[in-house]
Copies of this chain bind each other. A is one copy, B any other.
Amino acid sequence: MANSSDGARKYSRNHAERFRHELLEFLRIPSLSGDPAHTGDVKRTAEWLAANLHALGVDDAKVMPTAGHPVVYGSWTGAGPEKPTVLVYGHYDVVPAVIEDGWDSPPFEPVEKDGKIYARGATDDKGQLFIHVKALESYLEANGGAPVNVKFLIEGEEEISSPNLAPFIQKHQNLLRADVCVISDSSMRTLEDPAITHSLRGMTYLQLEVEGPRDDLHSGFWGGAAHNPALALVEILSKLYNADNTIAVPGFYDDVVPLTAQEREMVAKNALSEKQFQEATGVPAVWGDKNYTIRERVSARPTLDINGLWSGYSGPGPKTIIPAKAGAKLSSRLVANQDPDKIYHLLKKHIESITPATVKVKVSLVTKGKPALIPFDLPEMQAAARAYEKGWGHKPVFSRGGGSIPIVADIYDLMKIPVVMMGYGLDSDGLHAANEHYSIEMFHRGIETAIVYLEELAAMGAKRSDSSGARAA
């Protein structure tokens, strides 16, 4: 068993060109989930993927309906019930792209150039999810079987916020039962910096509207005795922060799991210097809570950002009004174990409590998502680290992601299994932009790493019992 991945890896190298050829076919179908005109294409893409899985030996591969675009499901359970089962999550849908956006070639006519595949969806997420499909194929063809059981849950609505994924998981708990979930839908800084994301921030996004006079007022006739709603908004927002840049909302930090010394050491491996931050963003100087390093601030600490502000007149020249209204979009990135609903209520209550009687305030929830924190010392995580070490020749870092991928927390919460984010993208891949591309070397290294990961999961020893997954929470 120790060397069982060797054959599969060799197979994957020998069939590299065909694997890419298949990926190009996959990329050719414009699976735009947000555009009703492409509903047929989305379905065709699901069917193509189910057929590809079926052909390599996933006999039950099928297109399963949801209230929206379908899910592609399939399982290979030939390793037997005593072996662990890995659930591969990915998404086959893409965001819009037209050549007029600045593409050098049509976004749905993939081309290979300078070691990269150019096409919409190349890195996000068709290329990355296909790695796991071809890893399983390599095992089945080379060895006649894989060291663990593999299930696929590939959705078609990730780019429109996965509205039907949680209900699908809840409905098909038995079908999807697994010991670990692996997701490849993220990126590393360079091809030499493999990283496993073990936490993501959650989110509470709200909107705040201050109302004063019935209509805009002439600032000459009324100015001095009407509380300007834009000023009231400014006063409210300024009171949400302390002078040391921490958040002044009572209870906001109460549930935050403190960073341990070990975790801070881990985060430090991915350090971000003041100079790097400035160069990457163009800010004149770094800001934030000085009790934490820059990398900690952007990944392991909660935030409160103003995403939008509006009031009155913003055109050229003067307009001498007291605006009737002023508004702001405000979002908080949350860390474990902050609860998005609780944070929303704390924010709302505090905002209402500091709003003076001279104006009215309306606070409403826009969207929310839970944070996720998967302990990096779990065996499934350590197995992933060993897989990268073989695929890359050196150890990956465990990193905390500052962004939010609500499905990670959804899977973690609903299935009670560890979620391992093995990103095989590059920060420079241009996802969601013109000329999205995917490194061919990354694609092949990814397949080999995925092959090794299955072996490492098998070597990890005892299968996680159905209920013991809860220990990861």
Contact = CB atoms under 8 A, between A and B. Distances in A.
Contacts of A308: 230, 311-314, 319, 323
A242 B3 CA distance: 74
Interface in A196-247: 201, 203, 205, 212-215, 217-228, 230-231, 233-235, 237-238, 241
A82 B365 CA distance: 76
Contacts of A359: 283-284
Contacts of A256: none
Given A238-B234, A303-B224, A314 B286 contact: no
A281 interface: yes
B228 A306 contact: yes
Given A219-B331, A238-B234, A307-B318, A224 B297 contact: yes
A363 B330 CA distance: 26
A329 B312 contact: yes
A55 to B, nearest CB: 38
Interface residues of A, number: 79
A287 B297 CA distance: 39
A305 B238 CA distance: 17
B301 A320 contact: no
A207 to B, nearest CB: 9
Interface string A265-304: 0000000100001001111111111000010011101010
A153 interface: no
Given A306-B230, A309-B311, A329-B318, A288 B403 contact: no
B231 A333 contact: no
Contact of A225 (B224, B227, B298, B403): B298
Contacts of A282: 213-215
A127 interface: no
A235 B287 CA distance: 14
Given A220-B333, A284-B357, A331-B320, A305 B231 contact: yes
B231 A298 contact: no
Given A224-B288, A320-B205, A283 B314 contact: no
B333 A303 contact: no
B318 A205 contact: yes
A327 interface: yes
B311 A225 contact: no
Contacts of A212: 283-284
A270 to B, nearest CB: 13
B319 A307 contact: yes
A305 B163 CA distance: 43
Given A217-B281, A308-B323, A358 B287 contact: yes
A309 B329 CA distance: 13
Contacts of A191: none
A440 interface: no
A214 to B, nearest CB: 3
Contact of A286 (B231, B312, B358): B358
Interface in A78-131: none
A305 B298 CA distance: 35
A149 interface: no
A213 B281 CA distance: 5
Contacts of A357: 284-285
B333 A224 contact: yes
Contacts of A391: none
A16 interface: no
Given A283-B213, A367-B318, A305 B223 contact: yes
Given A223-B303, A224-B303, A307-B322, 10 more contacts: A215-B282, A217-B281, A220-B404, A224-B299, A228-B305, A284-B358, A317-B366, A318-B331, A318-B367, A320-B404
Q: Would you list the 9 A-B pairs with minimal beta carbon distance, nearest first?
A: A214-B282, A220-B403, A227-B287, A224-B297, A230-B306, A238-B238, A308-B312, A309-B311, A308-B313
5 contacts: A213-B281, A218-B403, A220-B333, A234-B309, A306-B323
